[in-house]
């Protein structure tokens, strides 16, 4: 149900806000939470952003808020020590409740949180040019670099096995065995596609278990609309921290490229249209590596390229599993929507496989140029 302004003002009364509320209006284009713009009566006091957290998607709100508190505190501390940085503008600021908590649970069981509104910023659902792609790479790269010295084990795994492809493969196998709605027979080519790649797609997990790939703190929702840009279209702040948890750097990089450098929609019907935009790819990668090259290990740099195919593979696998299971996880807009989504993601995997040599050489070239620039600065 949609809360009315009076209810929202009641919710806001539980937070330690400065001044008084002039208006509360629905805001932004997020698909997960309900987001509201809270305008202050006073022009000199801050505006706020109120969110009702979707607790159907995020089952453990206390854990995820714990993660956000820890991560924003770390980011703030790191930025405060860097000359020329403005932590209040570059990190989300949680406004505590009167009980000194980072969220408020209302009597109906809804969870609410309040952030400082970052004035003069905007987010774009789709990247419009290479300059923006570069800024997106800088934003998620800086986020990664600043958190590289934070112990990933301090965070909760707020959505267990989120990007764990072995877990997704198990769910897929279980759906095949059940064949709940009799669709298995009709998706043999897609099943074969998955089986052909199942082993190689678990490579990063195996490297992790062997201690060769470090567990980092990753964002896990690196879409371009989760970066706020300032009035000059420069990256200002990474937002939407609900999925921040332990993971591999390649997850963030791979999902960012999947959503930033691939301009066709996730469910593109015409498979011939699915391609990666090399200009956007290069620009995002440039921004990302400028920020991260010094903190990533050689194994992590080498993992970026397999990360490119892994993320669309996981998405396609999840769509296909849901299709076989009878469409009860993702909202569908047509009977075969999940199958169409799976096919689009698998086509993207193929495109990325075909171009993997080229993509890998671009990553290497940019990485080496970043390191070279560092050497020149030192000497
Ligand atoms: P969702 O998980 O639903 O995508 P987000 O946390 O990304 O929710 O927020 C939705 C939108 O609200 C964002 O795309 C952005 O435009 C805007 N937004 C979020 N946080 C802030 C903030 N602190 N200041 C200004 N705008 C914000
Ligand atoms: Mg968002
Ligand atoms: Mg979100």
Question: Is ipTM over 0.95?
Answer: yes
pLDDT-derived band of residue 5, with 50, 70 and 90 as boundaries? confident
Give the tens place of pLDDT for each residue, 122-177: 999 999 999 999 999 999 999 999 999 999 999 999 888 999 999 999 999 999 99
At CA 175, angle to CA 223 and CA 191, rounded to 5? Answer: 75
CB of 114 shorter than 6 A to ligand 1: no
C-alpha to C-alpha distances, 298 to 148, 186, 302, 366, 369, nearest whole angstrom: 14, 43, 6, 14, 15
The structure tokens 């149900």 sit at: 1
| Domain spans of the chain, in order of start | 5-116, 130-378
Give the tens place of pLDDT for each residue, 19-57: 999 999 999 766 778 999 999 999 999 999 999 999 888
List the structure tokens of 106: 């209302």
Fold exhibited by the domain 130-378: Aminoglycoside 3'-phosphotransferase; Chain: A, domain 2 (3.90.1200)
Tell me which of 239, 242, 243 to substitute to probe ligand 1's pocket, judged by most ligand atoms within 8 Å of the beta carbon: 239
Segments in 179-297 forming alpha helices (H)? 188-201, 203-209, 249-260, 278-292
Q: Which of 48, 50, 49, 51 is nearest to 33 (CA)?
A: 51
Give the tens place of pLDDT for each residue, 190-225: 999 999 999 999 999 999 999 999 999 999 999 999
Mean pLDDT of all residues in 262-270: 95
Tell which atom from ligand 1 comes closest to the C-alpha of 122.
16
Q: Which protein residue's CA is at the shortest distance from atom 9 of ligand 1?
A: 30
Give the tens place of pLDDT for each residue, 79-120: 999 999 999 999 999 999 999 999 999 999 999 999 999 999
Full DSSP string of 107-139? TTS-EEEEEE--TT-B--SS--SHHHHHHHHHH
Give the tens place of pLDDT for each residue, 223-244: 999 999 999 999 999 999 999 9
Tell which atom from ligand 1 comes closest to the C-alpha of 93.
23
CB of 63 shorter than 6 A to ligand 1: no
Q: What's the CA-to-centroid distance between 314 and ligand 3, angstroms? A: 18
Name, in order, each residue with C-beta under 8 angstroms of 62's C-beta and a sequence gap of 6 or more. Answer: 103
187-191: long-range contacts at Cβ-Cβ below 8 A with a sequence spacing of 24 or more?
A: 187/320, 187/323, 187/324, 187/339, 190/320, 190/339, 190/342, 190/343, 190/346, 191/320
Q: Is the pLDDT of residue 378 over 70?
A: no
Q: Is the pLDDT of residue 77 over 90?
A: yes
CB of 125 shorter than 6 A to ligand 1: no
Q: Options 3.30.200.20, 3.40.50.1820, 3.40.50.300, 1.10.510.10; which CATH number does 5-116 get?
A: 3.30.200.20
List the structure tokens of 84: 């020329």
Q: What's the CA-to-centroid distance between 261 and ligand 3, angstroms? A: 20
Per the prediction, the chain carries an average pLDDT of 95
Matching CATH topology for 5-116 and 130-378?
no
């Amino acid at each position: 149900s949609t809360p009315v302004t009076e209810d929202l003002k009641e919710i806001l009364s539980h937070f330690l806000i400065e001044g008084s509320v002039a208006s509360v209006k629905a805001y932004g284009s997020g698909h997960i939470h309900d987001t509201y713009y809270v305008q202050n009566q006073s022009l000199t006091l801050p505006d706020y952003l109120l969110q009702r957290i979707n607790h159907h998607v995020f089952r453990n709100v206390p854990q995820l808020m714990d993660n956000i508190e820890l991560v924003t505190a770390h980011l703030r501390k790191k930025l405060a020590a860097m000359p020329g940085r403005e932590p209040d503008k570059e990190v989300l600021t949680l406004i505590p409740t009167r009980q000194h908590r980072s969220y408020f649970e209302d009597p109906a069981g809804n969870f609410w949180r309040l952030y400082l509104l970052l004035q003069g910023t905007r987010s774009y659902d789709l990247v419009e040019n290479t300059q923006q792609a570069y800024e997106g790479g800088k934003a998620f790269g800086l986020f990664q670099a600043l958190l590289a010295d934070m112990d990933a084990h301090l965070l909760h795994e707020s959505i267990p096995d989120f990007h764990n492809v072995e877990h997704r493969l198990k769910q897929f196998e279980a759906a095949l065995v059940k064949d709940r709605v009799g669709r298995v027979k009709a998706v043999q080519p897609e099943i074969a596609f998955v089986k052909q790649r199942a082993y190689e797609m678990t490579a990063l997990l195996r490297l992790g278990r062997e201690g060769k790939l470090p567990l980092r703190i990753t964002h896990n929702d690196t879409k371009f609309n989760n970066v706020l840009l300032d009035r000059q279209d420069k990256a200002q702040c990474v937002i939407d921290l609900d999925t921040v948890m332990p993971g591999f750097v390649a997850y963030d990089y791979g999902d960012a490229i999947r959503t930033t450098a691939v301009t066709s929609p996730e469910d593109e019907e015409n498979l011939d249209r699915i391609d990666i935009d090399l200009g956007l790819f290069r620009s995002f990668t440039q921004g990302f590596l400028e920020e991260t090259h010094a903190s990533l290990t050689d194994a992590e740099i080498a993992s970026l390229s397999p990360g490119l195919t892994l993320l669309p593979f996981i998405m396609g696998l999840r769509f296909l599993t849901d299709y076989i299971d009878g469409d009860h996880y993702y909202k569908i807009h047509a009977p075969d929507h999940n199958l169409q989504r799976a096919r689009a993601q698998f086509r993207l995997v193929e495109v990325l496989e075909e171009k993997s040599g080229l993509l890998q050489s671009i990553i290497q070239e940019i990485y080496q140029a970043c390191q070279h620039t560092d050497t020149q600065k030192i000497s």
